Amino acid sequence: MRAQSSATTPSRIAVDSKTRPTGAGTPVPAASRRTGTLLAALGVVAFSLTFPATVWGLEGFGPWSLVAVRSVLAALIAGACLLALRVPLPDRRHLAGLAVVAAGVVVGFPLLTTLALQTSTTAHAAVVVGLLPLTTALFSALRMGTRPSRTFWTAALAGAAAVVAFTVQQSGGALTTADLYLFGALLVCAAGYTEGGRLAGVMPGWQVIGWALVLCLPLSVPAAALALSYEPVRLSAHSVAGLLWVAAGSQFLGLVVWYRGMAAIGIPKASQLQLAQPLLTLVWSVLLLGEHLTVAAPLTAAAVLVCIAVTQRARG
Protein backbone atom coordinates (compact mmCIF):
# COMPACT_ATOMS: atom_id res chain seq x y z
CA MET A 1 0.00 0.00 0.00
CA ARG A 2 2.84 2.44 0.80
CA ALA A 3 4.65 1.60 -2.46
CA GLN A 4 1.48 2.14 -4.48
CA SER A 5 0.90 5.50 -2.79
CA SER A 6 4.41 6.76 -3.50
CA ALA A 7 4.17 5.62 -7.11
CA THR A 8 0.95 7.42 -7.79
CA THR A 9 1.73 10.63 -5.95
CA PRO A 10 3.67 12.31 -8.82
CA SER A 11 0.89 11.68 -11.31
CA ARG A 12 -1.69 12.98 -8.90
CA ILE A 13 0.37 16.08 -8.31
CA ALA A 14 0.69 16.58 -12.07
CA VAL A 15 -3.06 16.32 -12.51
CA ASP A 16 -3.72 18.67 -9.63
CA SER A 17 -1.28 21.25 -10.98
CA LYS A 18 -3.12 21.25 -14.31
CA THR A 19 -6.60 21.43 -12.93
CA ARG A 20 -6.30 23.67 -9.89
CA PRO A 21 -7.21 27.29 -10.65
CA THR A 22 -4.15 29.48 -10.73
CA GLY A 23 -6.03 32.15 -8.85
CA ALA A 24 -5.74 29.94 -5.79
CA GLY A 25 -1.98 30.52 -5.68
CA THR A 26 -0.69 27.46 -7.59
CA PRO A 27 2.78 28.11 -9.11
CA VAL A 28 2.63 28.34 -12.90
CA PRO A 29 5.54 27.10 -15.09
CA ALA A 30 7.12 29.74 -17.32
CA ALA A 31 6.07 27.93 -20.53
CA SER A 32 2.46 27.71 -19.34
CA ARG A 33 2.58 31.37 -18.35
CA ARG A 34 3.73 32.41 -21.82
CA THR A 35 1.13 30.23 -23.51
CA GLY A 36 -1.61 31.48 -21.20
CA THR A 37 -0.63 35.09 -21.83
CA LEU A 38 -0.72 34.51 -25.60
CA LEU A 39 -4.14 32.84 -25.44
CA ALA A 40 -5.58 35.58 -23.25
CA ALA A 41 -4.15 38.20 -25.62
CA LEU A 42 -5.80 36.49 -28.59
CA GLY A 43 -9.06 36.63 -26.69
CA VAL A 44 -8.59 40.37 -26.15
CA VAL A 45 -8.02 40.89 -29.89
CA ALA A 46 -11.20 38.97 -30.65
CA PHE A 47 -13.16 40.98 -28.07
CA SER A 48 -11.77 44.27 -29.40
CA LEU A 49 -13.69 43.68 -32.63
CA THR A 50 -16.99 43.10 -30.84
CA PHE A 51 -18.24 46.68 -30.66
CA PRO A 52 -17.44 47.57 -34.30
CA ALA A 53 -18.95 44.25 -35.42
CA THR A 54 -22.04 44.97 -33.32
CA VAL A 55 -22.42 48.36 -34.99
CA TRP A 56 -22.24 46.60 -38.35
CA GLY A 57 -24.78 44.04 -37.21
CA LEU A 58 -27.18 46.76 -36.09
CA GLU A 59 -27.27 48.05 -39.68
CA GLY A 60 -29.41 45.05 -40.61
CA PHE A 61 -30.79 43.62 -37.36
CA GLY A 62 -32.66 44.99 -34.37
CA PRO A 63 -30.82 44.83 -31.04
CA TRP A 64 -32.87 41.94 -29.65
CA SER A 65 -32.63 39.98 -32.90
CA LEU A 66 -28.88 40.49 -33.12
CA VAL A 67 -28.25 39.26 -29.58
CA ALA A 68 -30.59 36.28 -29.81
CA VAL A 69 -29.41 35.12 -33.24
CA ARG A 70 -25.74 35.45 -32.30
CA SER A 71 -26.36 33.31 -29.24
CA VAL A 72 -28.13 30.63 -31.30
CA LEU A 73 -25.39 30.53 -33.95
CA ALA A 74 -22.63 30.37 -31.34
CA ALA A 75 -24.50 27.61 -29.49
CA LEU A 76 -24.81 25.58 -32.69
CA ILE A 77 -21.06 25.87 -33.28
CA ALA A 78 -20.30 24.93 -29.70
CA GLY A 79 -22.82 22.08 -29.68
CA ALA A 80 -21.37 20.64 -32.88
CA CYS A 81 -17.89 20.66 -31.33
CA LEU A 82 -19.14 19.02 -28.12
CA LEU A 83 -20.96 16.32 -30.09
CA ALA A 84 -18.09 15.68 -32.50
CA LEU A 85 -15.67 15.17 -29.63
CA ARG A 86 -18.23 13.21 -27.59
CA VAL A 87 -17.75 15.39 -24.56
CA PRO A 88 -19.77 14.07 -21.59
CA LEU A 89 -22.32 16.26 -19.87
CA PRO A 90 -20.86 18.53 -17.17
CA ASP A 91 -21.13 17.46 -13.54
CA ARG A 92 -24.16 18.75 -11.69
CA ARG A 93 -21.87 20.60 -9.29
CA HIS A 94 -20.71 22.79 -12.19
CA LEU A 95 -24.18 23.74 -13.44
CA ALA A 96 -24.57 26.72 -11.12
CA GLY A 97 -21.24 28.15 -12.29
CA LEU A 98 -22.16 27.57 -15.93
CA ALA A 99 -25.44 29.38 -15.33
CA VAL A 100 -23.49 32.41 -14.05
CA VAL A 101 -21.29 32.32 -17.16
CA ALA A 102 -24.37 32.07 -19.38
CA ALA A 103 -26.16 34.92 -17.62
CA GLY A 104 -23.14 37.20 -17.64
CA VAL A 105 -21.24 36.43 -20.84
CA VAL A 106 -23.79 34.84 -23.18
CA VAL A 107 -26.86 36.95 -22.37
CA GLY A 108 -26.16 39.94 -20.11
CA PHE A 109 -23.08 41.58 -21.61
CA PRO A 110 -24.08 41.17 -25.29
CA LEU A 111 -27.62 42.41 -24.68
CA LEU A 112 -26.72 45.41 -22.53
CA THR A 113 -23.86 46.58 -24.74
CA THR A 114 -25.93 46.14 -27.91
CA LEU A 115 -28.70 48.25 -26.42
CA ALA A 116 -26.11 50.85 -25.40
CA LEU A 117 -24.55 50.97 -28.87
CA GLN A 118 -27.85 52.12 -30.34
CA THR A 119 -27.23 55.57 -28.85
CA SER A 120 -23.56 55.43 -27.82
CA THR A 121 -20.41 55.56 -29.91
CA THR A 122 -17.92 52.73 -29.73
CA ALA A 123 -15.47 55.07 -27.99
CA HIS A 124 -17.92 55.80 -25.20
CA ALA A 125 -18.89 52.13 -24.88
CA ALA A 126 -15.21 51.27 -24.51
CA VAL A 127 -15.40 52.76 -20.99
CA VAL A 128 -16.93 49.43 -19.97
CA VAL A 129 -13.99 47.48 -21.32
CA GLY A 130 -11.57 49.87 -19.67
CA LEU A 131 -13.10 49.20 -16.26
CA LEU A 132 -13.64 45.47 -16.79
CA PRO A 133 -10.14 44.29 -15.77
CA LEU A 134 -10.37 46.03 -12.41
CA THR A 135 -13.91 44.82 -11.81
CA THR A 136 -12.95 41.26 -12.76
CA ALA A 137 -10.03 41.36 -10.33
CA LEU A 138 -12.37 42.56 -7.59
CA PHE A 139 -14.87 39.79 -8.31
CA SER A 140 -12.02 37.28 -8.34
CA ALA A 141 -10.78 38.47 -4.95
CA LEU A 142 -14.27 38.09 -3.47
CA ARG A 143 -15.12 34.79 -5.18
CA MET A 144 -11.81 32.93 -5.09
CA GLY A 145 -9.90 34.57 -2.27
CA THR A 146 -7.07 35.87 -4.46
CA ARG A 147 -4.89 38.55 -2.90
CA PRO A 148 -2.85 40.47 -5.52
CA SER A 149 -0.04 42.70 -4.28
CA ARG A 150 -0.26 46.45 -3.72
CA THR A 151 1.88 46.99 -6.80
CA PHE A 152 -0.60 44.99 -8.83
CA TRP A 153 -3.55 47.05 -7.60
CA THR A 154 -1.72 50.35 -8.08
CA ALA A 155 -0.86 49.52 -11.68
CA ALA A 156 -4.37 48.19 -12.33
CA LEU A 157 -6.00 51.34 -10.98
CA ALA A 158 -3.61 53.55 -12.95
CA GLY A 159 -4.30 51.66 -16.16
CA ALA A 160 -8.04 51.74 -15.61
CA ALA A 161 -7.91 55.47 -14.87
CA ALA A 162 -5.92 56.11 -18.05
CA VAL A 163 -8.38 54.14 -20.18
CA VAL A 164 -11.41 55.79 -18.60
CA ALA A 165 -9.92 59.28 -19.05
CA PHE A 166 -9.11 58.53 -22.68
CA THR A 167 -12.48 57.05 -23.61
CA VAL A 168 -14.45 59.76 -21.81
CA GLN A 169 -12.36 62.42 -23.54
CA GLN A 170 -12.98 60.72 -26.88
CA SER A 171 -16.74 60.86 -26.33
CA GLY A 172 -16.67 64.50 -25.31
CA GLY A 173 -17.09 63.81 -21.60
CA ALA A 174 -20.87 63.51 -21.91
CA LEU A 175 -22.80 60.89 -19.98
CA THR A 176 -25.71 59.35 -21.85
CA THR A 177 -28.67 57.18 -20.93
CA ALA A 178 -26.65 54.26 -22.33
CA ASP A 179 -24.38 54.45 -19.27
CA LEU A 180 -26.84 52.42 -17.19
CA TYR A 181 -26.64 49.64 -19.76
CA LEU A 182 -22.86 49.90 -19.85
CA PHE A 183 -22.35 49.75 -16.09
CA GLY A 184 -24.79 46.86 -15.84
CA ALA A 185 -22.85 45.05 -18.57
CA LEU A 186 -19.63 45.71 -16.66
CA LEU A 187 -20.92 43.96 -13.53
CA VAL A 188 -22.50 40.91 -15.17
CA CYS A 189 -19.52 40.34 -17.46
CA ALA A 190 -17.03 40.51 -14.58
CA ALA A 191 -19.06 37.91 -12.72
CA GLY A 192 -19.19 35.69 -15.81
CA TYR A 193 -15.45 36.03 -16.44
CA THR A 194 -14.61 35.20 -12.84
CA GLU A 195 -16.82 32.13 -12.71
CA GLY A 196 -15.68 31.01 -16.15
CA GLY A 197 -12.05 31.39 -15.15
CA ARG A 198 -12.69 29.28 -12.05
CA LEU A 199 -14.41 26.55 -14.08
CA ALA A 200 -11.62 26.62 -16.67
CA GLY A 201 -9.35 25.32 -13.93
CA VAL A 202 -11.34 22.07 -13.70
CA MET A 203 -12.49 21.62 -17.32
CA PRO A 204 -11.18 22.81 -20.71
CA GLY A 205 -11.99 26.46 -21.30
CA TRP A 206 -13.80 25.81 -24.58
CA GLN A 207 -16.16 23.43 -22.79
CA VAL A 208 -17.00 26.14 -20.24
CA ILE A 209 -18.31 28.57 -22.85
CA GLY A 210 -19.61 25.69 -24.99
CA TRP A 211 -21.89 24.34 -22.29
CA ALA A 212 -22.91 27.85 -21.24
CA LEU A 213 -24.05 28.55 -24.80
CA VAL A 214 -25.87 25.22 -25.09
CA LEU A 215 -27.63 25.81 -21.77
CA CYS A 216 -29.02 29.06 -23.23
CA LEU A 217 -30.59 27.37 -26.29
CA PRO A 218 -34.02 26.84 -24.65
CA LEU A 219 -34.08 30.61 -24.12
CA SER A 220 -32.22 31.90 -27.18
CA VAL A 221 -34.14 29.94 -29.85
CA PRO A 222 -37.64 31.21 -28.94
CA ALA A 223 -36.16 34.66 -28.24
CA ALA A 224 -34.65 34.75 -31.73
CA ALA A 225 -37.92 33.65 -33.35
CA LEU A 226 -39.89 36.27 -31.42
CA ALA A 227 -37.42 39.09 -32.04
CA LEU A 228 -37.15 38.36 -35.78
CA SER A 229 -40.93 38.47 -36.06
CA TYR A 230 -41.07 41.98 -34.57
CA GLU A 231 -37.84 43.63 -35.74
CA PRO A 232 -37.23 44.20 -39.46
CA VAL A 233 -34.19 42.57 -41.04
CA ARG A 234 -32.20 44.26 -43.81
CA LEU A 235 -29.38 41.95 -44.85
CA SER A 236 -26.19 43.51 -46.15
CA ALA A 237 -22.52 42.60 -46.31
CA HIS A 238 -21.85 44.61 -43.14
CA SER A 239 -24.76 43.22 -41.14
CA VAL A 240 -23.98 39.59 -42.06
CA ALA A 241 -20.26 40.01 -41.38
CA GLY A 242 -21.00 41.69 -38.05
CA LEU A 243 -23.40 38.95 -37.01
CA LEU A 244 -20.99 36.17 -37.97
CA TRP A 245 -18.12 37.76 -36.07
CA VAL A 246 -20.00 38.41 -32.83
CA ALA A 247 -21.39 34.86 -32.99
CA ALA A 248 -18.31 32.83 -33.96
CA GLY A 249 -15.44 35.15 -33.04
CA SER A 250 -16.56 37.04 -29.95
CA GLN A 251 -19.12 34.65 -28.47
CA PHE A 252 -17.28 31.36 -28.95
CA LEU A 253 -13.70 31.32 -30.27
CA GLY A 254 -12.63 34.43 -28.37
CA LEU A 255 -14.00 33.09 -25.10
CA VAL A 256 -12.38 29.68 -25.71
CA VAL A 257 -8.86 31.12 -25.79
CA TRP A 258 -9.72 33.69 -23.12
CA TYR A 259 -10.81 31.12 -20.54
CA ARG A 260 -7.82 28.90 -21.31
CA GLY A 261 -5.56 31.89 -20.82
CA MET A 262 -7.20 32.77 -17.49
CA ALA A 263 -6.83 29.19 -16.29
CA ALA A 264 -3.10 29.27 -17.10
CA ILE A 265 -2.03 32.65 -15.67
CA GLY A 266 -4.81 33.47 -13.21
CA ILE A 267 -7.88 35.65 -13.43
CA PRO A 268 -6.43 38.95 -12.09
CA LYS A 269 -3.38 39.00 -14.36
CA ALA A 270 -5.29 37.84 -17.43
CA SER A 271 -7.92 40.49 -16.84
CA GLN A 272 -5.27 43.23 -16.93
CA LEU A 273 -4.50 42.38 -20.56
CA GLN A 274 -7.93 43.80 -21.33
CA LEU A 275 -6.59 47.26 -20.52
CA ALA A 276 -5.42 47.28 -24.16
CA GLN A 277 -8.85 46.32 -25.49
CA PRO A 278 -10.41 49.83 -25.66
CA LEU A 279 -7.44 51.10 -27.63
CA LEU A 280 -7.66 48.19 -30.05
CA THR A 281 -11.38 48.82 -30.38
CA LEU A 282 -10.69 52.44 -31.29
CA VAL A 283 -8.21 51.33 -33.94
CA TRP A 284 -10.82 49.02 -35.47
CA SER A 285 -13.35 51.84 -35.22
CA VAL A 286 -11.12 54.03 -37.37
CA LEU A 287 -10.46 51.30 -39.91
CA LEU A 288 -13.95 49.82 -40.06
CA LEU A 289 -16.31 52.62 -39.01
CA GLY A 290 -14.42 55.73 -40.12
CA GLU A 291 -14.17 57.29 -36.66
CA HIS A 292 -11.38 59.76 -35.89
CA LEU A 293 -8.84 59.59 -33.04
CA THR A 294 -7.03 62.42 -31.28
CA VAL A 295 -3.32 62.66 -30.44
CA ALA A 296 -4.19 61.32 -26.98
CA ALA A 297 -4.37 57.78 -28.41
CA PRO A 298 -0.62 56.99 -28.58
CA LEU A 299 0.00 58.60 -25.18
CA THR A 300 -2.73 56.50 -23.56
CA ALA A 301 -1.50 53.39 -25.38
CA ALA A 302 1.99 53.87 -23.93
CA ALA A 303 0.59 54.38 -20.40
CA VAL A 304 -1.58 51.28 -20.69
CA LEU A 305 1.26 49.10 -21.96
CA VAL A 306 3.39 50.18 -18.98
CA CYS A 307 0.58 49.28 -16.59
CA ILE A 308 0.13 45.89 -18.25
CA ALA A 309 3.85 45.17 -17.93
CA VAL A 310 3.79 46.05 -14.23
CA THR A 311 0.74 43.92 -13.45
CA GLN A 312 2.21 40.95 -15.31
CA ARG A 313 5.39 41.15 -13.22
CA ALA A 314 3.73 41.87 -9.89
CA ARG A 315 3.36 38.90 -7.58
CA GLY A 316 -0.06 38.15 -6.11
232 CB-contact burial (10 Å; exposed 0-12 / middle 13-18 / buried 19+): exposed
**How remote is the C-alpha of 144 from its chain's centroid?**
18
pLDDT value, residue 21: 43
What type of residue sits at position 46?
A
3-state secondary structure 53-70: HHHHHCCCCCHHHHHHHH
pLDDT value, residue 206: 85
pLDDT value, residue 224: 96
**How remote is the C-alpha of 10 from its chain's centroid?**
34
Residue range 236-272, pLDDT digits in tens: 999 999 999 999 998 889 888 888 888 888 877 777 7
pLDDT value, residue 8: 41
Residues of the chain with pLDDT under 70: 1-28, 170-171, 174-175, 293, 312, 315-316
pLDDT value, residue 180: 85
pLDDT value, residue 117: 92
pLDDT value, residue 16: 40
Those residues whose C-beta lies under 8 Å from the C-beta of residue 39, and which sit 6 or more positions away, are 257, 258, 260, 261, 264
pLDDT value, residue 236: 94
pLDDT value, residue 9: 38
pLDDT value, residue 174: 65
**Calculated CA dihedral for residues 279, 266, 203, 97, nearest 10 degrees:** -80
Residue range 197-229, pLDDT digits in tens: 888 888 887 899 999 999 999 999 999 999 999
**Are 297 and 282 within 8 A, CB to CB?**
yes
